[in-house]
Structure 1
Amino acid sequence: MKKNNALLNIIIVLLSLSASAALWAEEPQATPGNNTADTPISETNSADKKDYITPAPQTSRIEALKASLSIRRLGHQIQTLEANGKPFLTLYKPSITSSTQGCVVILHSDNEHPDWPDAIAPLRNALPEHSWCTLSIEVPDIVKRAAPVKTEAPNTENNQQPIELPNQTEVFARIQAAINKAKTEDVETFVFLGYKTGASYALSFLANNQASGEALALIDIDAPPNLSNYEIAQQIRRVAQPILDYYVNSNAGSDQFATWRKQAANQRTENRNDYIQLDALPDRATGKDSKQLLIQRVRGFLKQNTRQILQKKALPSVKKGLFYESPINT
């Protein structure tokens, strides 16, 4: 009986093996002319075709921003411009005073958007109340390159040479497109303001286009990953316009970076003592609204270092009848 059971088991195994061999024989074999592993999904049978969506963080971020602005009934601020054949988003707010001084071109930091709440949104919304229109530009995310990030200062010889930032051509083209658009609305004066890596773009753009703006505001400037802090600091030597350098001195690295920027400002050929470096930490330590203090710093800088210093508003005429009682006839 045991022998019969063993024989039966052997027969069952042999049958299963033959069935498996038949199934494998039906599968297409990988040959030099028929490599199914390398066949794109789009070329496979339509019944098996699948749509794969490549993650696009910036696209999602911008779409969410548009939706948020629409919900807040601010969709009219959105302007879609084009640079080098590619569309990009800007947020435009006109001056709400009777005498527009010009436009502040605003550049946000990496992986953010043109209405980022830390510094961008407060400034772009407040400055129009002080005679400035604002143009906040979408800056493409920085793609980390294969080159290692530099952490030490390079050779200090010839350190006034131009540098190349990630996506520089695209960002500069966007800035110029925004300027050209503003000029069609009779804006003639421009100021550049950048936050973190956006400040590096603003600095480099003005260094390479020295007649394009009247002043520069750097808010907590950061170097992009392909450049050292020292290289970014040296670009200040190429800018003759007034500069506000408002930063957070949070560690030894930021303190050294600030020192390099200060030194570069002192080495400018046209040194008019119009480089203002301020540590933001004391402002934050007061317990007051740090965003409001930031607005006051930028507003004061623009008032004292642009044509706005010449702006004078006539005192309103006072109708005494609104404040004094008319004499009673007796």
Structure 2
Amino acid sequence: MNKFTAVRHIITVLLTLSINTALFAEESQATPSNSPTSPSQTAPAENTKEYITPKPQSSRIEALKTSLAIRRLEHQIKTLEANGEPFLTLYRAALTSSTQGCVIMLHSDNEHPDWPDAIAPLRNAMPEHSWCTFAIEVPDIIKRAEPVKTTTPTADNTQQPAAELPNQALVFARIQATIDDAQAQDVSQFAFLGYGTGASYALGFLAANPSAGKALALIDIESPPNLSDYEVAQKIRQVSLPILDYYVNKTGNNQFAIWRKQAANQRTDKNTDFIQVDALPDRVNGRNSKPLLIQRVRGFLKQYTRQINQRKALPSAKKGLFYESPIDN
């Protein structure tokens, strides 16, 4: 046996031992040595393993709470309940003497109620303009590492049953619980703002509850995976409210935006405006894009909601504060 053959023989033996060890480990996990050998025997309780299911949304919300605590903003957290389950909201009161109303905000999938792209700047800016804000925790649609299932159009023209939004009953219950809480604080006017898939929820809720709000802002609306863009766009026909459709065409296909515009034109109530704005010119401004977004939303609400006069009467001036008293001779 030459030197090369001996080395090859040693490597083969080592590989064989490694494979056998791995197979033995797998068999040990699949069939523990103390597993019952007959139906009458039971495995010891101390040998049962508890497998932890990853909960990315729970982790994300806990991280949000920690971030707010570090910034000393934990007082903005308000836990409400819907369908017997608690959920997180972030509440900010209007920073003026009177309140125009409250903007209910819904974030996009796999985000949270203080997401920096759109929800956070708007929920923090609107209170300066007499609006309170309620940002609601929305359950995840797509779980991490889960394949995305999309709908495909049918070949025939038969009427298909309308599909619901994912977790629709739960999300709508959360929105209603938020409205009830705000009404308990004497808020009487509501506007809705959704970002990404959150815009689809806001649109769907107002389609089902037409009298719940006075205006709707859709920011970069996205369809959930179980609904087509066409199906989501058709919900606009059911909303007889002023709508701001502020979007950037991310896919290179304007068809979704065209369908939304067409659905708005098909509404029977011709007195409600649909304002569709391509946000791309605003976004190219970099750091100025968020102030421009705030300006768009603020201007839209100012024009299409009932406005309370914020001016205060000037105090009566006392002349003694400005003029010297006459000197008695």
- How far did residue 232 of structure 1 move? 0.1
- Larger displacement relative to structure 2 (282-291 or 108-117): 282-291
Structure 2-normalised TM-score? 0.80
Partner of 1:149: 150
> Take 2:156 and 2:126, find their aligned partners in 1: how far apart are those partners?
40
The farther-off stretch of 137-146 and 68-77 is: 137-146
Q: 1:30 to 1:244 in 2, by over 3 A?
A: same
Cα deviation digits, residues 17-76 of structure 1 (max 9, x gap): xxxxxxxxxx568656269xxx8xxx6342x35443211101111111111111111111
Q: CA deviation at 1:313?
A: 2.1
In the TM superposition, 1:123-272 aligns within 5 A as 123-143=122-142, 148-152=149-153, 163-253=163-253, 255-272=254-271
- Residue number in structure 1 paired with 2:39: 33
Matched residues in 2 for 1:317 and 1:74: separation?
35
Instruction: Let me know the Cα RMSD of the aligned residues.
Output: 3.0
C-alpha distance 149-189 of structure 1, shift in aligned 2 (>3 A) = same
| Cα separation, partners in 2 of 1:29 and 1:108, compared to 1, 3 Å | closer
Offset of residue 108 of structure 1:
0.3
Distance 1:147 1:241, change over 3 A: same
| CA–CA separation in structure 2 for the residues paired with 1:51 and 1:60 | 19
String of CA shifts for 1:208-252, please: whole Å, max 9, x gaps: 001110110000000000000000000000000100000002333
Q: Give yes or no for contact 1:193–1:218 (8 Å, CA) kept in 2.
A: yes
Residue identity matched to 2:39 = G
| TM-score, scaled relative to structure 1 | 0.79
Q: What is the rounded CA distance, in whole Å, between the counterparts of 1:154 and 1:286 in structure 2? A: 44
Aligned AA for 2:140? D
The CA distance in 1 between the partners of 2:284 and 2:116, in whole Å, is 20
Q: CA–CA distance in 2 between the matches of 1:69 and 1:29?
A: 48
Distance 1:306 1:153, change over 3 A: farther
**2:299 matched to which residue of 1?**
300
Q: Distance in 1 between matches of 2:309 and 2:236?
A: 28
CA contact (8 A) 1:210 1:239 kept: yes
- Provide the rounded CA distance (Å) in 2 between the counterparts of 1:279 and 1:170: 32
Unaligned residue ranges in structure 1 (runs of 5+): 1-26
Aligned position for 1:311: 309
Report the alpha carbon displacement of residue 99 of structure 1 after superposing the two structures with TM: 1.9
Partner of 1:7: none
CA 147–96 in structure 1, closer or farther in 2 if over 3 Å, else same: closer
Q: Unaligned stretches of 5+ in structure 2?
A: 1-32
**SS of residue paired to 1:245:** strand
CA offsets 1:165-196 (integer angstroms, 9 cap, x no match): 00000000000000001111100111110000
AA partner of residue 298 (structure 2): R
Distance in 2 between the 1:298 and 1:155 partners? 41
Change in CA separation of 1:142 and 1:250 when aligned onto 2, cut-off 3 Å: closer
Instruction: Judge conservation of contact 2:104–2:193 (CA < 8 Å) in 1.
Output: yes
Counterpart contact for 1:154–1:230, Cα < 8 Å: no
Which residue is equivalent to 2:119?
120
The Cα shift of 1:136 comes to 0.3
- Structure 1 residues 206, 50: closer, same or farther in 2, change over 3 A? same
Give matches, 1:103-118, under 5 Å. Answer: 103-118=102-117
